[in-house]
Structure 1
């Protein structure tokens, strides 16, 4: 037997080749080249593997935010990008994404409109047929083997390269698309489509490294155990919402980084922004087919996915009711033995999130945090504050501070840099929230503290609104509006323990985010303990829309989702199927136990 073994320490590679008989091998070990070719008796093989423990991915970091202050260079760049994008509207988006994807002009396109100017068409997207979706699934599965066999650090490099494209070359283009298409102002678009998207790409790489590093540390003499962190055997179905461009990037990057292939169905209002993200990934080196971007009718796409035997996981962010439907549909397929795997259900959904103010709190600070949490991006965050509990002794001071601060808040279009908050996303959302405001304005149990008005003549604008009540059973504390509508319950100072029980009981069954404002440490400790299951993210003297990738993981339970925690190792572990391996080096010698003699 002839053995050829080559170690290349400079490039961190080990090439090992063993064969019986005569072997002719030519090794070209040029650091920086992606492949080393080995020629074996007429056949050519690409062999490249990573030496365990010799390569570490770069340490992740949070992307610094641009501030867009008056006369700043970034403000000028963004204004130019907004002007350019407006001149190109409507943007046409193909039904199926891809490097060379084209819009099929022979088929009807579905328009989306600017939330701030609903007479203006923002995008027109194609709709995939059921047959189109099935072809996309087969395309993804055809790309799966090569993708999962690619060394981890090569996969990681693609997403790290994408992070640089997001924060550099395409930053202002992404911000403009998010601002016009989703109605965000410059600050909200920046923390979403630039910073958080890049953070997800960078931190997911670090989380993946943590997973791959998890190996058994204890072995008996003569034995060796290992873990093979396999991707799921089939494909992942990712469904992303309208309110964060970054969420779509995370829903697809987390499973793809672990070697999975993904069918991605974005919300219609993000069709263009999602196409930009997909194109960035392709430019960064993602092989065609690994992530298949599919636009169109949700039931049509879901039917094709759920009918396929290799459906292995759902990665979903959106409405709790929709997630329940998708969960139940998957369970039905499991009962019918439709799938090879038991599909993983990964979901983060709705919230009816709370601020709790203790009598010892800094009231002015609590008011400022509450305005940010309740009204930034018109309350359209799953983490947004929509109910607040105020002590009777501090309620009027709190309301006074809210009125004073809200008098400085401007509601306006995203292109107006002085606007603090903008429109809700579309007519359906506008009608839902305005109907709730009409009902609240006519309700004698509710006192209007501020707002209670709306104007849909040009854009879908709703004023930041705050109602107060002493009715601790009012249904407003259990109904999710997903808009700039906040309800306050004023409780007796002596009833702090009772209000903790009330907070836990209310909230429509959701348990996503919550907090306490207090300077009494005993009250803080009591709230943390009593509200342990009332929120998956609990904050102390901080607004509840405050999670930062790599610093605070995000996700809730109860009806708010499966609590897999975006921005953590936990989420990525849902997309692997670990295989345990054991190898013995010694000989058994005897089939009988010592006690058998």
Structure 2
């Protein structure tokens, strides 16, 4: 037994690399992009630490090059989902009784792997799989996820420390034990942030929970590589089970299971509402009350004051509206600008929009690339068509497709 009070390293934000011409990080990323572009990988389910190739295969293509296949993904069957649930339940006692600092150490190791040998690999997969530019991949799949793993390890310590009773009566010593949920966690993750995809299953795991991870159908490649990274960092078998599969089948199977203990979700409002309804309808089935945590789509906006920094406003409009094709919860989908300010910045704004370059993210001069899939493209076209048909709308930039 070690007589100490463990304290993980004080977390700091990971510096964002610049990928300037001639820099070593740019050369490494370019090399990795070429390597990944030249291969088609097989992506299995990962159940109890083992790769499961089901034979029911779908192809994953680059959103910016629909003819370029980058992966063949083996989709889970209902039996595979049930096996994954059982694997997480079997791993629960081992993982939940492991000292918290040992669990945290695995994810701190993962953060070190990501800031080193895995950085180019994960960034390249995010660029090819989700059509992010170099900078957008760097701030997401590298820096933000490194920060998640560093800060979550410290938050874990804070939770265990801060929940201790501040006072014990005479001749007594009160203490609190923070226990993981009894059952398994279902993590359902989005395509738009590789960091969030890995954070949802791993943040619950740091606290001693085990579970099933269903990645988005549009980010199988980057998410699979992140699963492999966590395994390389020492994640034991069964703690997180990686299950690509048809959303309706996976969801129905998981939500009907009596040992469902929680849901960790980021995605669309409609899907989250359905999951919540299904949980409510199944309450008589569950051993406990599942904790439901979700983040859904929002409409971000910009409000400009009459004496604002007008150059900063133009930059905010450009970056907020067009970075990663506007596929972020923080994307600026509307702006409230005084008429006097708009009159002064309109020409500059329109001129800057005209300079935006769109294309393959492997060309580092491009500011934008493709939206994630045809459904997203059709939604955007619908907004454009409605704006054109509305006599109250003035289209100042764009308007074509």
Deviation for aligned residue 1:333: 0.9
Other-structure match for 1:194? 142
Greater helix proportion: 2
Other-structure match for 1:256? 205
Q: Secondary structure, in 3 states, of the residue corresponding to 1:228?
A: coil
Supply the distance in 1 between the matched residues of 2:385 and 2:52 (Cα, whole angstroms).
Answer: 45
Other-structure match for 1:153? 101
Other-structure match for 2:21? 70
Q: Secondary structure, in 3 states, of the residue corresponding to 1:394?
A: helix
Deviation for aligned residue 1:102: 4.6
Q: Secondary structure, in 3 states, of the residue corresponding to 2:175?
A: strand
Q: Secondary structure, in 3 states, of the residue corresponding to 1:226?
A: coil
Greater strand proportion: 1
Number of aligned pairs? 400
Supply the distance in 2 between the matched residues of 1:416 and 1:148 (Cα, whole angstroms).
Answer: 46
Is 1:323 aligned with 2:272? yes
Question: What RMSD, in angstroms, separates the aligned Cα atoms of the two structures?
Answer: 1.3
Which residue of 369, 379, 387 maps to 1:422? 369
Other-structure match for 2:69? 121
Q: Deviations over 1:532-584 (max 9, x none)?
A: xxxxxxxxxxxxxxxxxxxxxxxxxxxxxxxxxxxxxxxxxxxxxxxxxxxxx
Supply the distance in 2 between the matched residues of 1:326 and 1:286 (Cα, whole angstroms).
Answer: 28
Supply the distance in 2 between the matched residues of 1:100 and 1:227 (Cα, whole angstroms).
Answer: 36
Is 1:86 aligned with 2:33? no
Is 1:390 aligned with 2:340? no
Other-structure match for 1:95? 45
Other-structure match for 1:246? 195
TM-score with structure 1 length normalisation? 0.66
Is 1:437 aligned with 2:387? no
CA contact (8 A) 2:47 2:83 kept: no
Deviation for aligned residue 1:199: 0.7
Deviation for aligned residue 1:98: 6.2
Q: Secondary structure, in 3 states, of the residue corresponding to 2:169?
A: coil
Q: Secondary structure, in 3 states, of the residue corresponding to 1:57?
A: coil
Supply the distance in 2 between the matched residues of 1:357 and 1:340 (Cα, whole angstroms).
Answer: 51
Other-structure match for 1:231? 180
Other-structure match for 1:540? none
Supply the distance in 1 between the matched residues of 2:115 and 2:257 (Cα, whole angstroms).
Answer: 37
CA contact (8 A) 1:97 1:278 kept: no
Other-structure match for 1:296? 245
Other-structure match for 1:500? none
Which residue of 212, 218, 221 maps to 1:269? 218
Supply the distance in 2 between the matched residues of 1:265 and 1:317 (Cα, whole angstroms).
Answer: 11
Other-structure match for 2:60? 112
Kindly tell me: are residues 304 and 102 of structure 1, through their superposed partners in 2, closer, same or farther at Cα, counting changes over 3 Å?
closer
Other-structure match for 2:358? 411
Deviation for aligned residue 1:441: 2.0
Supply the distance in 1 between the matched residues of 2:257 and 2:395 (Cα, whole angstroms).
Answer: 52
**Structure 2 unmatched ranges of 5 or more:** none
Supply the distance in 2 between the matched residues of 1:185 and 1:322 (Cα, whole angstroms).
Answer: 28
Q: Secondary structure, in 3 states, of the residue corresponding to 1:223?
A: coil
Supply the distance in 1 between the matched residues of 2:399 and 2:24 (Cα, whole angstroms).
Answer: 38
Q: Deviations over 1:146-186 (max 9, x none)?
A: 11111111111100000011111111110110000000000
TM-score with structure 2 length normalisation? 0.97
Supply the distance in 2 between the matched residues of 1:189 and 1:453 (Cα, whole angstroms).
Answer: 27
CA contact (8 A) 1:200 1:249 kept: no
Deviation for aligned residue 1:439: 2.1
Regions of 4+ moved over 6 Å: none
Other-structure match for 1:566? none
Is 1:218 aligned with 2:167? yes
Supply the distance in 2 between the matched residues of 1:111 and 1:98 (Cα, whole angstroms).
Answer: 24
Supply the distance in 2 between the matched residues of 1:441 and 1:289 (Cα, whole angstroms).
Answer: 53
CA contact (8 A) 1:97 1:293 kept: yes
Other-structure match for 1:357? 304
Q: Which has the higher contact order (CA 8 A, sep 6+)?
A: 2
CA contact (8 A) 1:98 1:293 kept: no
Q: Secondary structure, in 3 states, of the residue corresponding to 1:300?
A: helix
Other-structure match for 1:446? 393
Larger radius of gyration: 1
